[in-house]
Structure 1
């Protein structure tokens, strides 16, 4: 590996010879893995602590279910804008600076969010929730967009395996956040969970400043619009949308449903959310390895995972037309199915979009990786805006059972469309193999009374 004299900076060309993770990793690769893992873990644990108790606390402050959904949704909307802009200009800003500054902003916003219980009045409380969450979303977008791009750049030949392994730390953040936040809230009140985790996130700033290498790259003239014009990319983005909207739906509605339906405390609601994050965390490394080892099954992993996610949401309530009584064991089982299927669908999406970009003439390098990371984050954010907003409105208008079933129906539609596209693509790919030089086998068959030997003689004449 060619490196600069300081041992940390490298260009796009240097990474073309980067060894795969199956070989012995270099120091730069090891440090990158540690850095990105710390970002995934600390960011997700701060994000996930709201689920068990914030909807209940906001409701006590006078916020309606719809407004609570909008508070969750505005985070995703600002994350969308941040991902698009930062993904486009990651080369100009610098991947390392973007990651570190994003962590710094998120840490401050996390601490400030923990002070909102002291705000008097419903309107002021809601307004500050929107403001702080919006700023926090931009910081989160900077950190995650940079981490995705850096991971793909340092490990270009094992993207799914590395990301699947890093999703263990994302899953750990999702796993530890709800029970940790719920138990702290139950024992010490609203402020302490945010203050502690905000300080932990702040400690990640100097840590990543020290260990994360700097990356040099050349800006590209490619754009999001060109990337999004590929039909395959559009359908995969629709799948990403259904995944994030499902998670956002659960964030905004599950805690209130479990509290009212099963009389669960915030601490137990946090444990209930393990049903999603634990299967996702445990399955991601395996699914990432399978996705890299057998690239041809990535598309079907996405389709089958989407169908399983749809099934899980339909039985989460379950859907009222089935006349099945809602039970705690069934709820936990469906959450586990959703968690595992999220890994099946989500892990292959990034490398598939990246391959689609390269097939359409995008240059290999940090600039394209930034575009793909930004697009992934933007579409994910759209789903995170739609999920809690739609879920809060539908739960308030109908009930949780119907809202979850409609969410599952959207996931089924995305899987059906993507599966149909892959089948059509396969038929069109196999069709040319049946013709040579534009002639079908019937057209190339000898005429009556003419042998194949005559054809050969004619050919040589």
Structure 2
């Protein structure tokens, strides 16, 4: 029995060791990390604008309320219920009544909601609603801004200590951020939770992409693997908004974040088993400094494509729900459902062009994607209802999927071609570009939407994407740097010498064999 137990234990340890070295299992971990990170990123999109509006409106009602204005006894059990969507709310000095009640005398403070033809409340022209553009935009941008500041440190750090520890640190920080989102009831705490998520996202994204680039060394395989990993990002973007909006309306604000926290714990357990984050595993060679990489014009073009393409959806996230509330009078769940076409098409785009981009040319795929982003975003303000948003949002998501699935592998290819093949810093730059889009997009977009309107905002970002698209042509055949070319030539010469030496040895062995046969 003892020998049998020892054999089983040996087999289990062997299996675990093999699993830890599996590239597919590493790909699965990166996929799940990006999935949960982007679910947390987007689950707040339909929740925060409505939740902050409710908080501000409740605060305004409390400020206006005075004891003498109450037409009911102080022992009344009525509570203030502020709703943007339910079609029968009157606000009477802090007490919510159904519209079937008769209005009080003109001297009584009454603030009925604006009602459209279908009988749905719609806060059209509400100054408070328009002011939410700036607050929501700054809150959404805080995550990307902090991530932007953190990335230049995470990239070189992965070169020194490896990818495992930063990856696990990203999980821990994301878990804390999720718990804060669940129980925060003020703008300040929500802002802090969103900012904390930026640090965790930086660790997960940079370490995850660098890990994939290091284990998938073939350019085509790397493109396919990154396309699969971006599918996790797409799934998070796809599931997040509708999941958040439905849970928020029917269960409450806390529930979706608690579910995400449980999923994050399962992801952390998988990382502990596979990655062994207690071990420090630095890269075998010193990588190119991040400042040197940032001066490379080809890397800058690739980073610019990622930035401006994602800036389009980043501007949509905070501004579109508020514009819909102003013009379409939707239900809460519709605020999140409006993003489903973009999420589905992004998933399709990354899946298709993760493979096709290598065959058709990643530069061409990115160029077409940038043009399609611009044209689709210009069509968004033309929608008159939620159904009119389906086609433009589908085009936006599909085009961004084309750009991301092309440019992420190109970043690794440019490092192989022109620099030292260590990938932490270059994917830190890629993540910086991604974050710049999601930092400038919501913050500037919210202010622009408030000043000149949502349609003008969409026109500006659409034109920027169209004008940037031709620059992708320069990525068609980027040259290798002279020092990198010398290294490649020396490597090829040594390989040829080794090959000739092996051939000579085989000829000598053949001659000896013939001599022995003759004897």
* Bin for the TM-score computed over the shorter chain: 0.7 to 0.9
**Structure 1 position 357, deviation (Å):** 2.2
**Structure 1 position 222, deviation (Å):** 1.6
Q: Partners of 1:77 and 1:67 in 2: how far apart?
A: 15
**Structure 1 position 333, deviation (Å):** 0.2
**Structure 1 position 218, deviation (Å):** 2.8
- When structure 1 is superposed on structure 2, of 209-218 and 329-338 the one drifting more is 209-218
8 Å CA contact 2:313, 2:396 repeated in 1: no
- When structure 1 is superposed on structure 2, of 189-198 and 139-148 the one drifting more is 189-198
Secondary structure at the counterpart of residue 410 of structure 2 = helix
Q: 2:317 aligns with which of 251, 256, 270?
A: 251
Q: Partners of 1:209 and 1:65 in 2: how far apart?
A: 41
Flag the 1:152–1:422 CA change in 2: closer, same or farther, 3 A.
closer
8 Å CA contact 1:31, 1:212 repeated in 2: no
Q: 2:399 aligns with which of 337, 341, 344?
A: 341
8 Å CA contact 1:160, 1:347 repeated in 2: yes
8 Å CA contact 1:43, 1:201 repeated in 2: no
Do structure 1's residue 92 and structure 2's residue 160 form an aligned pair? yes
1:363 corresponds to which residue? 420
Do structure 1's residue 61 and structure 2's residue 61 form an aligned pair? no
Secondary structure at the counterpart of residue 408 of structure 2 = helix
List alignment gaps of at least 5 residues for structure 1.
11-24, 118-124, 319-324, 427-461
2:23 corresponds to which residue? 29
8 Å CA contact 2:244, 2:256 repeated in 1: yes
- When structure 1 is superposed on structure 2, of 256-265 and 404-413 the one drifting more is 256-265
1:191 corresponds to which residue? 254
**Structure 1 position 283, deviation (Å):** 2.7
**Structure 1 position 127, deviation (Å):** 2.6
Q: Relative CO higher for 1 or 2, CA cutoff 8 Å, sep ≥ 6?
A: 1
Q: Partners of 1:107 and 1:227 in 2: how far apart?
A: 32
8 Å CA contact 1:59, 1:65 repeated in 2: no
List alignment gaps of at least 5 residues for structure 2.
1-12, 57-130, 480-519
Flag the 1:288–1:109 CA change in 2: closer, same or farther, 3 A.
same
1:140 corresponds to which residue? 201
Please tell me whether Structure 1 or Structure 2 has the larger radius of gyration of its CA atoms: 2
**Structure 1 position 422, deviation (Å):** 5.4
Q: Structure 2 length as normaliser, TM-score?
A: 0.70
- Output one character per residue of 1:241-280: Cα deviation in whole Å (capped at 9) or x when no partner: 1122112112111112223322222212222211111011
8 Å CA contact 1:161, 1:291 repeated in 2: no
Q: Partners of 2:259 and 2:438 in 1: how far apart?
A: 25
**Structure 1 position 216, deviation (Å):** 4.6
**Structure 1 position 130, deviation (Å):** 2.6
Q: 1:282 aligns with which of 348, 353, 356?
A: 348
How many residue pairs match? The answer is 388
Secondary structure at the counterpart of residue 361 of structure 2 = helix
**Structure 1 position 353, deviation (Å):** 2.1
**Structure 1 position 370, deviation (Å):** 0.4
8 Å CA contact 2:308, 2:437 repeated in 1: yes
RMSD of equivalent CA atoms: 2.4
Flag the 1:234–1:9 CA change in 2: closer, same or farther, 3 A.
farther
Secondary structure at the counterpart of residue 165 of structure 1 = helix
8 Å CA contact 2:373, 2:465 repeated in 1: yes
Q: Structure 1 length as normaliser, TM-score?
A: 0.79
2:438 corresponds to which residue? 384
8 Å CA contact 2:365, 2:403 repeated in 1: yes
Do structure 1's residue 128 and structure 2's residue 189 form an aligned pair? yes
2:337 corresponds to which residue? 271
**Structure 1 position 417, deviation (Å):** 3.2
Flag the 1:405–1:35 CA change in 2: closer, same or farther, 3 A.
same
8 Å CA contact 1:92, 1:219 repeated in 2: no
Secondary structure at the counterpart of residue 347 of structure 1 = helix
Q: Partners of 2:284 and 2:26 in 1: how far apart?
A: 20
